[in-house]
Amino acid sequence: MNTKKIDFSITNNPDSASGTYIRIIMMGLKYKLLLVLGIISIFFAVGFQLWMPILIGNGVENISKIVTNSNQVDQSQFILIGIYLLLASSMRGVFTGLYNYMGESIGQHIGYELRLLYYEKLQRLSFSYHSNIHSGDLITRALLDIEGVSMFVRTAFLRTIFLILLLGIGMYMVINTDLVLGLLSLSFVPFAGWRSISTRLQLRTSWYKLQEKMSTLTKVMDENMAGIRVVRSFFSQKFEMRKFDKASKETLNIANEQVEIRSINISLISTSFLISMGLVIWIGGIKVIQGNMTIGELATFLAFMSILQAPVRMLGMMVNAFARGAASGGRLFAVLDMDPEIKESKNAKDLSNAKGILKFNNVNFGYEGERTLTNINFEATPGHTIGIVGPPGSGKSTIAHLIPRFYDPTSGSITIDNVDIKDITLESLRHLVSVVEQDSFLFTASIDQNVAYGNPWAEDRDVEVATKNTQLYNYIANLPNKFNTMVGERGVSLSGGQRQRLSIARSILLKPKIIIFDDSTSAVDAATEQKIRIALREATKSRTSIIISHRLSSLMHADEIIFLEFGKIQERGTHEELISKGGKYSELYELQIRPKVN
């Protein structure tokens, strides 16, 4: 994936609004051409906009002269002023449109870049992170928070420059013309600034709450859609509707709170603006009556203030964009700043021509401080099958997850060909090791695309062989579209056993050196499982195999069987050796196998 490198080291505190703004602006600075064109357009837009009050003032001055003495005025000047006013209005519109387009373009580019960076970060974050956060929250950040950052750039970034220039140059012009009226015409600015800062802080807190509630709303919907069969089976549609309605109302209340904050802010700023205009008309009228100012100069002041109405209204949107940008950017950068727990060492190398000799050396592991595995030692070699069995929660799947480094041991080491897996690149390691999980996730794609997911360039013949080894080929061959048949979301168009067999086919297609079956045939009937095992013996005879299962029939043929309990190896040996010991394995055998035999 080709993404631009971004230095996010400016601030490590996502709660810092100023730091968040700086990081977003730094991203925008990379699009130099768009930014330069936008700023140039702003200068022209401001220039033409400030020219308009001057033209209007000159026009009013000429009208006043006509009223007093029509013979002293060249009426052709009205035509010229009209042409200039039309030109200024048109060019102001053109350049305002240009800088808005540039701002929109920069915002969309940043949004695109953030989506890639965010998605890439999620691919690299450790399983422990994904285990402790709901996918609905991640989706909300990917959609709403990135849109919030993009909106800040589109709505507030270049417009802030526009507003500063307009007020700065305009302030110089009116104060230079008349100090008192100039100050009166700008008297609303301090109040507007204070209200904007106060409102931004209120809205920022509100946006954080809203984004969290939107995450909750997404979670509720995601769980409902994923568990729709359970919902229907237990006739819980009304309960789910009440739950969704509650989350929706909480979201609506916060949204209404934002509307109220923004409305009050805009109303107060508009009122202060109108008061300033009233004062200018009052004091300016007195000056005109006293002869200290011409009516054209007063018209220039009033025209200037009228032009400021649009930026005043714009200020409300900008404040909202600043607040949302800080909240959304803070939530988003909190994820982008995360350091994955599973990282490659600086000296990590690809393990080429690996044999696949796997060793656990005094491995200990715990989830969040709770010990899961204690002093695990075993060795598995090519052509050698290790079976792991034990009660639920004994640590069987944990062993499977440690080998490809989904997690790292808290102590001890795991080696492949006497090389610590921490010294092997993750890409190389995960090409060497394939884990077939019990929960077989299938993508919304054709059967052949799902089988060849790990190697999209696999030959059709290899895909067919993989499905034959998993006893799935005959079923696929009888489908109308055969291997081109689409598999629904989560593989819902296939049975549980068929999904597991397809998942096994996907793994063996890659021909890994070490293959781990983690209860991967739990949904397959015993007869089909037996056929799969026979077929897989040939496919895995030169590979290291680990079979994790609750069913003894799945691993009785293993060269060595390990019985786990409470994260410790309680017994180990061949099936016959363990039966002869009369221990826990033998008890489990009596419980599972003997009743069926009798």
285 and 377 housed in the same domain: no
Q: What is the mean pLDDT of residues 346-354?
A: 82
> Are residues 235 and 267 part of one domain?
yes
The answer on 362 and 330 residing in a single domain is no
Q: How far apart are CA 102 and CA 100, in angstroms?
A: 5
Please say whether the beta carbons of 211 and 331 come within 8 A.
yes
Measured between alpha carbons, how far is 210 from 581 in angstroms, rounded to an integer?
62
Residues 6+ apart with CB under 8 A from 472: 498, 501, 502, 505
Same domain, 321 and 363: no
Is residue 106 situated within a structural domain?
yes
Per-residue pLDDT tens over the stretch 352-394: 788 888 989 998 988 766 788 888 898 888 888 888 888 888 8
Check if the beta carbon of residue 95 is closer than 8 Å to that of residue 50.
Answer: no
In sequence order, what are the residues at sequence separation of 6 or more whose Cβ sits closer than 8 angstroms to the Cβ of residue 154? 103, 104, 106, 107, 108, 321
pLDDT of residue 525: 66
Q: Are residues 123 and 34 in the same domain?
A: yes
Question: Is residue 9 assigned to a domain?
Answer: no
**How sure is the predictor about 584, in pLDDT bands with cuts at 50, 70 and 90?**
confident
Is the residue at 40 inside a domain?
yes
User: Of 127 and 449, which is predicted with more confidence?
Assistant: 449
Shared-domain flag, residues 299 and 389: no
Distance between the two ends of the chain, CA-based, in angstroms? 59
Order of strands, sheet of 358-367, starting from the edge strand that comes earlier in the sequence: 370-380, 358-367, 411-416, 419-420
* pLDDT tens digits for range 62-82: 777 666 665 555 667 777 878
Domain carrying residue 319: 17-336
567: left (phi over 0), alpha (psi -120 to 50) or beta: left
- Secondary structure class of 383 (helix, strand, coil): coil
pLDDT band at 1 (very low <50, low <70, confident <90, very high): very low
Q: In 10 A of CB 400, how many CB atoms? A: 23
Type of residue numbered 586? S
Residue for token pair 């909480």: 250
Domain final residue pick, 336, 370, 402: 336
Q: In the prediction, which pLDDT does 284 show?
A: 84
Q: Is residue 5 part of a domain?
A: no
Reading the block at residue 300, the tokens are 């220039």
The count of domains in the chain is 2
Q: pLDDT value at position 235?
A: 66
| 526 vs 573 pLDDT, higher one | 573
User: Quick one: 170 and 295 in the same domain?
Assistant: yes
Q: Does residue 177 lie within any of the structural domains?
A: yes
Query: pLDDT, tens digit, for every residue of 551-570?
Result: 787 788 888 888 888 888 88
Contact 543, 559 (CB under 8 A): no
- Residue 185 has φ and ψ, to the nearest 5°, of -65, -25
Query: Per the structure block, which two tokens stand in for 402?
Result: 């440690």
Does residue 299 share a domain with residue 200? yes
Bridge pairing between strands 385-389 and 370-380: unpaired
| Better-predicted residue by pLDDT, 561 or 321 | 561
Q: How far apart are CA 486 and CA 187, in angstroms?
A: 67
Answer with the one of 271, 305, 336 that is the final residue of a domain: 336
The pLDDT, as a whole number, for residue 68 is 64
Tokens of 129: 């992170």
Instruction: Tell me if residue 51 falls in helix, strand or coil.
Output: helix
If asked whether residues 86 and 201 sit together in one domain, one would say yes
pLDDT at 44: 93
Asked if the structure places residue 543 within a domain, the reply is yes
245 and 315 in a single domain? The answer is yes
Sheet containing 385-389: order of strands: 433-436, 514-518, 544-548, 385-389, 560-565, 568-573
User: β-pairing, 514-518 with 486-487?
Assistant: unpaired
| Across 122-147, average pLDDT | 77
What predicted TM-score, i.e. pTM, was given to this entire model? 0.71
Nearest to 283 by CA among 192, 183, 190, 188: 183
Per DSSP bridges, beta strands 385-389 and 560-565 are parallel
Mean pLDDT of all residues belonging to the chain = 79
Q: Do 226 and 124 belong together in one domain?
A: yes
Residues 311 and 384 in one domain: no
pLDDT of 594? 60
What's the maximum distance between 2 C-alpha atoms anywhere in the chain? 127
CATH number at residue 249: 1.20.1560.10
Domain's final residue, options 336, 366, 391 = 336
Question: What is d(CA 564, CA 570) in angstroms, rounded to the nearest whole number?
Answer: 6
Residue pair 524/554 in contact by the 8 Å Cβ criterion: no
Quick check: 406 pLDDT over 90?
no
Q: Does residue 341 fall inside a structural domain? A: no
Residue 598 has pLDDT above 50, yes or no: no
Q: Is residue 344 part of a domain?
A: no
pLDDT of residue 522: 63
Q: What is the CATH number of the domain that holds 587?
A: 3.40.50.300
